[in-house]
Structure 1
Amino acid sequence: MTGEPWDASYHDGPAPWDFGGAQPAVMRLAAEGAFTGSVLDAGCGSGENALHIASLGASVVGVDVAETALALARQKAVDRRIKADFTTADALHLDRLRRTFDTVLDCGLFHSFDADERPPYVAGLASVTKPDGTLYVLCFSSEGPDTGPHPVTREDLTAAFNPNTGWHIATLENTKLETRYHNNGAPAWLATINRT
């Protein structure tokens, strides 16, 4: 998808996934010291997760195709006096960043891609993740009531992230993904995936 539909999500107020803070699951990971070294937030939106991680001292780059979201993220960084970089990038062409990261976060992006888009996206993630680096994927799950749009099965994740694509899923746990339309969060997967 081009940036235009994503950008339009921010034109009339917050996007459906932009509930006004960092995802609790991401905050828990950060509190556990999960985000080490250089960090990439792929599909950073208006920057809440990236800014939370950066506020703890990490070097963070957030990328998105939505220019309006990036402008919001940059302004938040200024207002909160947090150092983080936000730049335009197409998640299906992450190799164009021409750099690698120790830790990568995908919060709410993987589930937005269809079956044909997932392989190039996963390959792009591999191109920007250092060997032995860690990828965290937080996405809507197909398991449970009141699922979010485009829910992902366990099999979807294991098919995408496996040794043939340069990955090993270390852990896969049930959690919640907060949105503006789910009172108690939508069922979600939190996958910890190692770059092989």
Structure 2
Amino acid sequence: MSEDDPFGGRNPTSHERMTGLPWDASYLEGPAPWDFGGPQPAVVRAAGSFTGTVLDAGCGSGENALHLASRGLPVLGVDVAETALAIARRRASELGLDAEFLTADALHLERLGRRFDTVLDCGLFHAFDADERVAYAKSLEAVTKGTLYILCFSDGENAGPHPVKREALTKPFGAGWRVKAIVEERVRTRFHDEEGAPAWFATIEREPSDE
């Protein structure tokens, strides 16, 4: 990235257009709003269900990816925020964890040229608008061969920014996907109390192809 092109040659997302800032800016002056100092409790509770190779899409500074790596899972975290990725790599080194972190656009995950048994999205889905969510689901098709887990803000009381209605969460995942479960959860942030904000935790499976 450069001062002339803070978006690194990609089209800015709806959130970036709204704020006028790239995602990387969230990490330049201290912790980002969603960096409360550890992995999301919902991810910790669900981690026992994660199997095989894991992709953390929109991994930020890596707290969730590092937690999964500490459980012995091979994890790749991707993000467009290079400052966040530098933090994640430093933390992995400090903790002696074998986790990989790469710069990648979540709307073009096919460019990774890899597929994963488990994919985690913690706090990314809700930042996309409706059109981006359709493109994102298509992007996820290219890399998900097992189960996708999405933790996002819901539209409950004391909701976080970009609240998501239940039907909006399922709408992008049509043919080739099976929504196995959506349960009420919480998302920790630096601007909510320890209970966090209301959230959905979705378990969405890729259906076997006929090929």
**Counterpart amino acid of residue 161 in structure 1:** F
Q: 1:35 Cα shift?
A: 1.2
Unaligned 5+ residue runs, structure 2? 1-11
What is residue 162 of structure 2 aligned with on the other side? 150
**Counterpart amino acid of residue 151 in structure 2:** L
What is residue 192 of structure 1 aligned with on the other side? 203
**Counterpart amino acid of residue 140 in structure 1:** F
Q: 1:87 Cα shift?
A: 0.3
What is residue 186 of structure 2 aligned with on the other side? 176
SS in 2 for 1:188: strand
Provide the rounded CA distance (Å) in 2 between the counterparts of 1:161 and 1:14.
32
**Counterpart amino acid of residue 191 in structure 1:** A
SS in 2 for 1:50: helix
**2:58 paired with 1:46:** no
**2:22 paired with 1:5:** yes
What is residue 152 of structure 2 aligned with on the other side? 139
Where does structure 1 differ by over 3 angstroms across 4 or more consecutive aligned residues? none
Unaligned 5+ residue runs, structure 1? none
Q: 1:5 Cα shift?
A: 1.2
Aligned residues between the structures: 189
What is residue 173 of structure 2 aligned with on the other side? 161
Q: 1:57 Cα shift?
A: 0.3
Provide the rounded CA distance (Å) in 2 between the counterparts of 1:179 and 1:114.
21
Q: 1:38 Cα shift?
A: 0.3
Q: 1:161 Cα shift?
A: 1.7
SS in 1 for 2:150: strand
Provide the rounded CA distance (Å) in 2 between the counterparts of 1:137 and 1:83.
23
Provide the rounded CA distance (Å) in 2 between the counterparts of 1:34 and 1:119.
26
SS in 2 for 1:9: helix
RMSD (Å) for aligned C-alpha atoms: 1.1
**Counterpart amino acid of residue 54 in structure 2:** V
Instruction: Kindly provide the CA deviation profile for residues 128-164 of structure 1, in whole angstroms up to 9, marking residues without a partner as x.
Output: 011xx0000000001x2110000101110121123x2
Provide the rounded CA distance (Å) in 2 between the counterparts of 1:160 and 1:117.
10
What is residue 35 of structure 1 aligned with on the other side? 50
What is residue 123 of structure 2 aligned with on the other side? 108
Rg bigger for which structure? 2
Instruction: Kindly provide the CA deviation profile for residues 22-62 of structure 1, in whole angstroms up to 9, marking residues without a partner as x.
Output: 000000011xx211000000000000000000000000000
Provide the rounded CA distance (Å) in 2 between the counterparts of 1:158 and 1:118.
10
Provide the rounded CA distance (Å) in 2 between the counterparts of 1:191 and 1:45.
20
Provide the rounded CA distance (Å) in 2 between the counterparts of 1:149 and 1:66.
19
SS in 2 for 1:21: coil
